[in-house]
Amino acid sequence: MRAGQEKSPAHERIAKVIARAGLCSRREAEAWIAAGRVAVNGEIVASPARNVTTADRIAVDGRELPQRERTRLFLYHKPRGLLTAHADPGGRPTIFSALPKGLPRLISVGRLDINTEGLLLLTNDGSLARVLELPATGWLRRYRVRAYGRATQEQLEGLRPGITIDGIRYGPIEARLERAQGSNVWLEARETPPGPGAVRAPRARDEGKRKHRRADSERRGGPELARREKRRGWRGRGARGERR
């Protein structure tokens, strides 16, 4: 089979072609190339800058690329307790092991922590996944948060102009106190477009950013964030484990 991408235009970067075949993201494809796992016409490729055409035969780990499928995008309501990964050395269950059989190989658009539930996008197109993850795409995230401790709306208003943690400037966050019960509070938070020199607000999928958020919470005398639900663009959501 000729490279598995007959509909691809001529002269494309090999990492992009591999990503579009649904095997991985473009960044992962570049790492595979650097590791010597990719061959073109039987010869190992040394540079991710290599251009290929539909006449080239591309193989990863000795297996030719699969026939390119049409791009598909799934909405998946991730339940708590599943890892956003294809495999886990510790044997923990993953979202991909929980998906029905017969689906194409899918890639997650971003990640959600193992104890976080919410909307997660899955696609068979690595290039699309990369585009959707870029801050320039402009998708704003919305979270529902249960936090341990107490917080007031006045404290939450301090997040509106953005925050600086360890020298990194994060963009504005709009947070609304929904209710308080015992030692817990429930919040709804969403990102707003960052200003000049700012990066996007800390996200639930980044373990390092979770530590930053916790540190900031302690500095403000606020609660420790514990649980988040994430949405991307849609307010509705399906049942846990449901895909669309």
- pLDDT at residue 229, as a whole number: 45
**Among 88, 113, 206, 216, the one annotated catalytic:** 113
Pairwise pLDDT comparison (91 vs 212), residue with the higher score:
91
Lowest mean pLDDT among 35-39, 54-58, 157-161, 162-166: 162-166
- pLDDT at residue 4, as a whole number: 46
The whole-number average pLDDT for the span 29-41 is 94
Residue 113 is a catalytic residue: yes
In this prediction, residue 239 has a pLDDT band, given cuts at 50, 70 and 90, of low
- pLDDT at residue 226, as a whole number: 42
Indicate the fold that domain 141-232 takes in CATH. Answer: Alpha-Beta Plaits (3.30.70)
The whole-number average pLDDT for the span 67-82 is 87
- pLDDT at residue 102, as a whole number: 83
Q: Do domains 12-64 and 73-133 have the same CATH topology?
A: no
- pLDDT at residue 39, as a whole number: 95
Contact 21, 4 (CB under 8 A): yes
Q: Are strands 173-181 and 184-191 parallel, antiparallel or unpaired?
A: antiparallel
Q: Domain spans of the chain?
A: 12-64, 73-133, 141-232
Contact 168, 199 (CB under 8 A): yes
Q: Are strands 184-191 and 51-52 parallel, antiparallel or unpaired?
A: unpaired
Indicate the fold that domain 73-133 takes in CATH. Answer: Alpha-Beta Plaits (3.30.70)
The whole-number average pLDDT for the span 176-196 is 81
Contact 27, 130 (CB under 8 A): yes
How high does pLDDT run on average in the chain? 77
Dihedral Cα 197, 119, 17, 131, nearest 10 deg: -20
In this prediction, residue 10 has a pLDDT band, given cuts at 50, 70 and 90, of low
Q: Residue 225 forms beta bridges with which residues?
A: 147
- Straight-line distance from the first to the last Cα atom of the chain, in angstroms, rounded to the nearest whole number: 31
Q: Is 107 helix (H, G, I), strand (E, B) or coil?
A: strand
Q: CB-based contacts of 67: which residues, under 8 Å, 6+ apart?
A: 1, 4
Q: CB-based contacts of 127: which residues, under 8 Å, 6+ apart?
A: 16, 19, 20, 26
From the list 122, 137, 177, 134, the residue with the least C-alpha distance to 154 is 177
Contact 125, 17 (CB under 8 A): no
pLDDT tens-digit series, residues 88-140: 899 999 999 999 888 888 989 988 889 888 889 999 888 888 888 877 776 77
Pairwise pLDDT comparison (52 vs 241), residue with the higher score:
52
- pLDDT at residue 96, as a whole number: 93
The whole-number average pLDDT for the span 215-236 is 45
- pLDDT at residue 7, as a whole number: 45
- C-alpha 241/C-alpha 31 separation (Å) is 31
- C-alpha 185/C-alpha 175 separation (Å) is 12
Q: Check if CATH label 3.40.50.1100 holds for domain 12-64.
A: no
The whole-number average pLDDT for the span 237-242 is 54
pLDDT > 60? residue 225: no
From the list 53, 48, 57, the residue with the least C-alpha distance to 24 is 48
Burial of 66 (0-12, 13-18, 19+ CB in 10 A): middle
